[in-house]
């Protein structure tokens, strides 16, 4: 998306935009001749919506390339995912609500288990419960000190945490300590691009690991930390400055909250489950003019290879849809950040069903599904263009040129 | 295609990819309301394949732009054809198996006929037979010497040959000597971009023409040479480094072999005719993980305006298809490097029918044809993306981003 063009053309109006993301929505037939998860789902509300919507297939990053959640969402928000890159550590830090500064370096922590020979025997320390994880994080915060930097450890969930190094002149181009396999020793952190900033950062990170090992040595099973996904806070132009939108995010998972915060969105308190997210949407309706609503369980079901569960989640969202429509958004898009076909049990590169409803559409089908979308008026198009389409359909863009 | 991204994400696996190119596959109805060559052909095997494939229309270069074989194939291999440019001389030199160095300058030679006034009376010297062409090439190699450069003349076929100038500091931005019309004098070679390298190269080329005219002056009808398509060896990133593929090419014409060699593919000995190419494919199956199979006669028939012959070639390939499918490629694409509609008797800019079969497709039609492809899940897309799609479908790309 050309963000400068959006900045130049965008105008503030009272009209409201909703971007409803069913994570990993796109799917595939389990068997030749079959239907996808979305095609198989009974979705009377989505189908009725499709009949008054523009349809297409959105492509997250590039032909054949399966995106992680980071690049998938950056594209949805209009940021070129090859130009703007966000490390996993940064996403997690933002997701837990840490106020990441522009010179902070973040990395993901997994608590893990070392055997007597110093080799990794469990990369997730037996998936320790969240209470234990929080206790270990407190231990690290109280006892690990390293020269030349402030260190913050924040618990995420279970065996997962985030570490943030605060010192001037750091750079995030660093390798992971997690060798990705058990039976190996953890790796030292090394610069992937040599510079003063990466050398300094690598030495801080290695000192932290050493200190953590000392503090955790008598713990069991979590007696070490593995670090990965180093990165600095990326400087994304905000939704406010780019689109002139007072944007809000409704998401229940840290990473998606983190992505929304990167774009400058307000994080709204989500309710319980998917219907709780719709409660939040209704409650906050008057206070913002853009809502990013993120539904996670479609992706989780796809990752588990559970076609029926994924179909069920889609049907659940379909059942809630009338509540959203009742609010009367000027422009509503429904899509995913990528496909997660149950057949593949993973993110994939396939085009994602996309639907955009406004008063200014050219409907082509009576159902919402991959093949209906393939024949839609938008065709196959880059996900990066979705924000432009939404801004146009909500009549929030001035004409370009005389 | 973003080749850096491919390099970053590609992983080596045992799965095999086949790119089957029917040169000039795309066509048009001869009359309003009619069918294209591919639509009219009886292709039960392609149709069955289409019913389990992703379909689309691939666009070689840019809207409305008819590509030569060079750009058409560069795009198929994932190289941006506007960024990577290859002169015809270079293609021919590589095609005849000449070991072109990075500082070598190549040009195509046509033996031609000059009349008594020094004007061209036949641009192909009456299409002299190959034996005569080879004899003249020997004469030139034995007798033409120019100061400051080694010169190699290699016979291609009939009246066609290649000349290679080897000297330091040459540049290939030079104009042709062939004025493209009879009744005119040959043109001198001139720099199209002034530089030391082009001045030097132009003077070498003009000296070569002068020397050749002296050697050939008593020959009939081939008493001169016309030079065109000057160019240096382009530095294409290889298939091995870009995609991690051990790639092989099966092609019967020099130019396509040359294109494949540019991409670092191994050239396999083709058998007799199209079925001979399939013999080669079967014999080499275990030794490579990517196969480019090039079928020429579709294009030749299109160039001749012979709708029925083109249709016949398509049907011949259809009959051979089961042999290819029997090998069990993980991902198979069938398309052309451009359209050559019999109606136009030339290459054209039209979208080329494209089919991709893997276990991870979203089929939309039961036939393989231009209009079935237009409604496919890939829509209209740049041919440059084909390699990314094949890599994704063969599960040879890691996920992008966290």
* Domain boundaries along the sequence of chain A: 3-85+235-393, 90-232
B3-85+236-393 CATH fold: Alkaline Phosphatase, subunit A (3.40.720)
Question: Which of B2, B377, B402 has its CB closest to that of A374?
Answer: B377
Q: Residue A205 phi/psi, 5° resolution?
A: -65, -40
Q: Are strands A53-59 and A160-166 parallel, antiparallel or unpaired?
A: unpaired
Return the exposure string of B266-296: e unless at least 16 CB atoms fall within 10 Å of the residue's CB, then b: ebbebbeebeebbbbbeeebeebbbbbbbbb
pLDDT above 90: residue B85: no
Q: Is the pLDDT of residue B402 over 80?
A: no
Q: Which DSSP symbol is given to B392?
A: H
Contact A65 B9 (CB under 8 A): yes
pLDDT of amino acid B233: 85
Whether residues A81 and B379 touch (CB distance < 8 A) is answered with no
Alpha-carbon distance A372 to nearest alpha carbon in chain B (angstroms) = 9
Neighbour tally for A277: CB within 10 Å: 23
Average pLDDT for B316-329: 98
Q: Shortest CA distance to B364 belongs to which of A33, A12, A143, A256? A: A33
Q: Using omega within 30 degrees of 0 as the cis cutoff, is the peptide bond preceding A146 cis?
A: no
Question: Which of A64, A91, A351 best tests the B interface by mutation, with the highest count of B CBs <10 A?
Answer: A64
SS3 content of chain B, % helix, strand, coil (to 5): 35, 20, 40
Element (H, E) at B40: helix B37-40
CA angle B166/B171/B177 to nearest 5° reads 85
Rounded-to-integer distance, Cα B303 and Cα B23, Å: 11
H or E, element range at B379? strand B379-382
Q: State yes or no: pLDDT of A122 exceeds 90.
A: yes
Cα dihedral sign, A256-A262-A264-A267 = positive
CA distance B361 to chain A (A): 7
User: How confident is the model over A331-383, as pLDDT tens digits?
Assistant: 999 999 999 999 999 999 999 999 999 999 999 999 999 999 999 999 999 99
Kindly give the interhelix angle for A130-143 and A196-216, rounded to the nearest 10 degrees: 110
Cα(B399)–Cα(B65) distance, rounded to whole angstroms? 34
Per-residue model confidence as pLDDT tens digits over B344-378: 999 999 999 999 999 999 999 999 999 999 999 99
| Residue B112 contacts residue B124 (beta carbons within 8 Å) | yes
Contact A315, A42 (CB under 8 A): yes
Contacts of A91 in chain B (CB under 8 A): 402
Tell me the CATH number of domain A3-85+235-393, given options 3.30.750.24, 3.30.300.30, 3.40.720.10, 3.90.1170.50: 3.40.720.10
More confident residue, B34 or A270: B34
Residue B382 tokens, joined: 């740049």
**A270 pLDDT above the threshold of 80:** no
| CB contact (8 A) between residue A62 and residue B389 | no
Please give the residue of chain B at the shortest CA–CA distance from A380. Answer: B379
pLDDT score of B96: 86
pLDDT surpassing 90 at residue A91: no
DSSP string, B284-316: HGGG-SEEEEEE-HHHHHHHTT-HHHHHHHHHH
Q: Which of chain B's residues have a Cβ under 8 Å away from the Cβ of A67?
A: 399-401
Label residue A379 left, alpha or beta by phi (over 0 means left) and psi (-120 to 50 means alpha). left
| Contact status, residue A58 vs residue A329, Cβ threshold 8 Å | no
**Residue in chain B nearest A346 by alpha carbon:** B399
For A266, phi then psi, to 5°, come to -75, 140
A202 with A165: CB under 8 angstroms? no
Confidence of residue A55 (pLDDT cuts 50, 70, 90): very high
Please say whether the beta carbons of A298 and A314 come within 8 A. yes
> What's the per-residue H, E or C state across B223-276?
CEEEEEEEEECCCCCCHHHHHCCCEEEECCCHHHHHHHHHCCCEECCCCCHHHH
Q: Beta strands A120-122 and A104-114: pairing type? A: antiparallel
Q: How far apart are alpha carbons A278 and B9 in whole angstroms?
A: 38
pLDDT band per the 50, 70, 90 thresholds, residue B230? very high
Q: What would the mean pLDDT of A87-100 be, rounded to a whole number? A: 85
Q: What is the pLDDT of residues A276-317, one digit of tens each?
A: 999 999 999 999 999 999 999 999 999 999 999 999 999 999
Do residues B137 and B159 lie in contact, with contact meaning Cβ atoms separated by under 8 Å?
Answer: no
Torsion of CA B192, B197, B203, B206, to 10 degrees: -50
Contact assessment for residue B245 and residue B260, using Cβ atoms and an 8 Å cutoff: no
Inter-chain CB proximity B5 and A374 less than 8 Å: no
Question: Which DSSP category does B358 fall into?
Answer: S
Residue B169 main-chain phi, psi, to 5 deg: 75, 20
Among B375, B379, B399, beta carbon nearest to A66: B399
Percent of chain B with pLDDT over 90: 89
- Residue A269, pLDDT > 90, answer no
Q: Kindly report, residue by residue over B51-62, the tens digit of the pLDDT.
A: 999 999 999 999
| Distance set, CA B392 to CA A346, B17, B395 (Å) | 13, 11, 5
Give residue B336's pLDDT: 98
pLDDT at A289: 96
Which helix (H) or strand (E) segment is B58 a member of? strand B53-59
DSSP bridge pairs for A348:
A339
Residues A92-97, mean pLDDT to the nearest whole number: 83
Per-residue tokens: A390: 């939404």
Answer yes or no: are the C-beta atoms of A153 and A162 closer than 8 Å: yes
Residue A167 has φ and ψ, to the nearest 5°, of -160, 155
Greater model confidence, A240 or B88:
A240
Distance CA B24, CA B294 (A): 11
pLDDT for res B269: 87
Q: Residues 6 or more apart from B144 whose CB is under 8 A from it?
A: B151, B153, B208, B211, B212, B215
Mean pLDDT score, A170-175: 93
Structure tokens of B174?
Answer: 């030079």
pLDDT score of B46 more than 80: yes
What's the number of CA atoms in the CB half-sphere (13 Å) around residue B204? 28
Nearest by CB to residue B379, choosing from A62, A69, A380, is A380
pLDDT of residue A30: 97
3-state per-residue secondary structure call for B89-148:
HHHHHHHCCCCCCCCEEEEEEEEEEECCCCCEEECCHHHCCHHHHHHHHHHHHHHCCCCC
Bridge partners of A380? A57
Q: Which CATH architecture has domain A90-232?
A: 2-Layer Sandwich (3.30)
DSSP, res B219:
-
State the burial class of residue B166 (Cβ atoms within 10 Å of its Cβ: 0-12, 13-18, 19+): middle
To the nearest whole number, what is the mean pLDDT of chain A?
95
Partner-chain residue, chosen from B360, B385, B399, that has the shortest CB–CB distance to A63: B385
pLDDT of residue A79: 97
In this complex, do A86 and B402 lie within 8 Å of one another by their Cβ atoms? yes
pLDDT at position A141 is: 97
Q: Do B364 and A371 touch (CB under 8 A)?
A: yes
Which residues in chain B are contacts of A66 at CB distance < 8 A? 392, 397, 399-400
Residues of B in contact with A350 (CB under 8 A): 360, 362
pLDDT, one tens digit per residue, over A378-395 is 999 999 999 999 999 999
The predicted structure's pLDDT at residue A235: 82
Indicate the residue of A64, A70, A85 with minimum beta-carbon distance to B393.
Answer: A64
User: How many contacts, defined by CB atoms under 8 Å, are there between A and B?
Assistant: 104
Residue A203 has a pLDDT of 96
Residue A213 has pLDDT above 90, yes or no: yes
Question: Which of A15-19, A318-322, B253-257, B388-392 has the weakest average pLDDT?
Answer: B253-257
| Crossing angle of helices B69-76 and B386-393, rounded to 10° | 30
Contact flag A350-B364 (C-beta cutoff 8 Å): no
Structure letter (DSSP) for residue B217: T
Please give the Cα distance from B235 to B238 (Å, whole number): 9
ipTM: 0.87
Q: What confidence tier does B102 reach under pLDDT thresholds 50, 70, 90?
A: confident
Which positions in chain B touch A28 (Cβ < 8 Å)?
360-362
A221-263 pLDDT, tens per residue? 999 999 999 999 888 999 999 999 999 999 988 889 889 989 9
User: Which tens digits make up the pLDDT trace of B287-321?
Assistant: 999 999 999 999 999 999 999 999 999 999 999 99
- A66·B401 Cβ contact <8 A: no
Cα B374 to chain centroid distance, Å, stands at 25
pLDDT recorded at residue A333: 98
| Residue A98 token pair | 């840490």
HEC secondary structure over chain A: CCHHHHHHHECCCCCCEEEEEECCEECCCCCCCCCCHHHHCCCHHHHHHHCCEEEEEEECCCCCCCECHHHHHHHHCCCCCCCCCCCHHHHHHHHCCCCCCCCEEEEEEEEEEECCCCCEEECCHHHCCHHHHHHHHHHHHHHCCCCCCEEEEEEEECCEEEEEEECCCCCCCECCCCCCCCCCCCCCCCECCCCHHHHHHHHHHHHHHHHHHHHHCCCCCCCEEEEEEEEECCCCCCHHHHHCCCEEEECCCHHHHHHHHHCCCEECCCCCHHHHHHHHHHHHHHHCCEEEEEECHHHHHHHCCCHHHHHHHHHHHHHHHHHHHHHCCCEEEEECCCECCCCCCCCECCCEEEEEECCCCCCCCCCCCHHHHHCCCCEEEEHHHHHHHHHHHCCCECCCCC
Q: B262 to chain A nearest CA, in Å?
A: 23
The residues that bridge with B231 in the sheet, in sequence order, are: B106
């Amino acid at each position: 998306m050309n963000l400068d063009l959006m900045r130049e053309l965008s105008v503030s109006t009272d009209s409201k935009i909703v971007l409803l993301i069913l994570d990993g929505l796109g799917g595939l037939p389990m068997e030749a001749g079959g239907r996808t998860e979305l095609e198989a789902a009974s979705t009377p509300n989505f189908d009725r919506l499709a009949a008054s919507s523009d349809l297409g297939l959105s492509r997250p990053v590039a032909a054949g390339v399966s995106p992680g959640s980071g690049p998938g969402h950056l594209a949805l928000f209009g940021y070129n995912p090859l130009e703007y890159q966000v490390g996993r550590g940064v996403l997690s830090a933002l997701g837990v609500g840490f106020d990441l500064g522009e010179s902070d370096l973040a990395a993901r922590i997994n608590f893990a288990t070392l055997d007597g020979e110093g080799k990794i025997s469990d990369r997730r320390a037996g998936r320790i419960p969240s209470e234990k994880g929080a206790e270990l994080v407190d231990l690290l915060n109280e006892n690990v000190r390293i020269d030349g930097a402030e260190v913050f450890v924040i618990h995420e969930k279970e065996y997962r945490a985030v570490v943030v190094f605060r010192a001037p002149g750091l750079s995030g181009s660093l390798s992971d300590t997690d060798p990705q396999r058990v039976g190996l020793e953890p790796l030292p952190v090394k610069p992937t691009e040599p510079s003063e900033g990466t050398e300094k950062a690598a030495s801080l990170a290695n000192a932290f690991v050493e200190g953590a090992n000392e503090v955790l040595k008598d713990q069991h099973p979590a007696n070490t930390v593995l670090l990965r996904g180093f990165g600095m806070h990326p400087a994304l132009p905000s939704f406010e400055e780019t689109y002139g939108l007072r944007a809000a995010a409704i998401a229940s998972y840290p990473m998606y909250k983190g992505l929304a915060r990167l774009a400058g969105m307000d994080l709204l308190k989500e309710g319980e489950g998917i219907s709780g997210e719709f409660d939040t949407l209704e409650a906050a309706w008057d206070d913002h003019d853009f809502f990013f609503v993120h539904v996670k369980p479609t992706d989780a079901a796809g990752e588990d290879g559970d076609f029926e569960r994924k179909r069920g989640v889609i049907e659940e969202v379909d059942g809630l849809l009338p509540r959203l429509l009742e609010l009367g958004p000027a422009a509503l898009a429904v899509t995913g950040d990528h496909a997660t076909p149950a057949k593949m049990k993973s993110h994939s590169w396939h085009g994602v069903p996309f639907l955009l409803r406004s008063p200014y559409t050219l409907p082509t089908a009576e159902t919402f599904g991959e093949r209906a979308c393939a024949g839609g008026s938008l065709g196959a198009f880059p996900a990066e263009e979705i924000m432009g389409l939404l801004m146009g359909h909500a009549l929030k863009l001035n004409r370009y040129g005389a």
